[in-house]
Amino acid sequence: MDSPNWIVRSRGDEIAGLLAELQPKLSRILLHFRIPEQDAEDLLQDVLLSLVSREEGVESPEAWLLAGLRYRCLMYWRSRRRALYRAVDEALLESLAKPEQPAAVRHEIAHDLTKCLTEIPSRCRSVLKLRYTMGLRPPEVARKLGYNSSSIATVTRRCLAALCQKLAGVGYQPGSLR
């Protein structure tokens, strides 16, 4: 808590000086993580504003900025992955819950889903079948399949990952289910 009060001494021009010095390193991190340019600005802005917003300061602004940017880049991709899982999950749940959708469309989605589920590991097939074709909630799925209720969220997420990989045409990757 008593670390050098770097940020209190600093002003806009000092930050600008530091950033100019670090610009190649920051650019290389963004390149290394392959962050799309349109999103890189938001990421970098977040990390810089966090730095100037820390009153107690940081001991090494350079190390903090570089570590902070790496961390945010990782978070960026994780949130992309989560967003995709969520999108697929919502779409499939929605297909169940839309009675106004023409029967033929619903039938087609159900048929495609069943076909897709045959191509993922069997334990995931059971979980997702109960969720998307019978509309069971996670605690009910856990009870039916004998999973612990505290772990069913993780199991569902992993199964959803397997399904997303299938949809995205990348096939089943055993490592991703561990």
Partner 1 sequence: MISIHPAERQLEDFVFGRLDLEDNHRIVYHLLGGCPECRRITAEVWGRVEDGLRAIRSPVDSAADHDGSGYARVVDRVIDRAGQRASKLDRERAEAVSRMEELSKHPVPRQLTLVRNSRRFCSWGLCEALIQDGFGQRFDDPAVALERIQLAVEVAERVPEREYGRGLVRDLQGRAQSYLGNALRVTSDFARAEEAFLRARTLLADGTGDPLEKALLLRFEGHLAVAVRRFEVAPGLYDQALEIYRQCGEKGAEATTLLDKGYAFATADRPADAVTYLEEGLLRLDTVAEPRRALAARHNLVVCLNASGRHDEALRRLEELRPSYRQLGDRLNLLRLRWLEGEILESLERTFPAEEALLEAREGFMAREMAWEAALVALDLAALFVRTLRPREVRRIAAEILPVFESRRVGRETVAALIAFHQAAQIEAVSVGMVRELASALRRAR
Site for partner 1 in 46-75 (CB under 8 A): 46-56, 58-60, 62-64, 67-68, 70-75
Give yes or no for residue 167 binding partner 1 (CB under 8 A): yes
Instruction: Extract the tokens encoding 86.
Output: 């969520």
Give yes or no for residue 155 binding partner 1 (CB under 8 A): no
Report the distance separating Cα 127 and Cα 136, nearest Å: 10
Q: Which residue has tokens 């959803």? A: 160
Taking the complex as a whole, how short is the minimal distance between the CB of residue 170 and partner 1, in angstroms? Answer: 5
Give yes or no for residue 30 binding partner 1 (CB under 8 A): yes
Extended beta strands in the chain, E state: none
117 φ, ψ (degrees, to nearest 5): -65, -25
Burial of 137 (0-12, 13-18, 19+ CB in 10 A): exposed
Taking the complex as a whole, how short is the minimal distance between the CB of residue 122 and partner 1, in angstroms? Answer: 19
Q: Which of residues 90-119 bind partner 1 (CB under 8 A)?
A: 90-92, 94-95, 105, 108-109, 112-113, 115-116
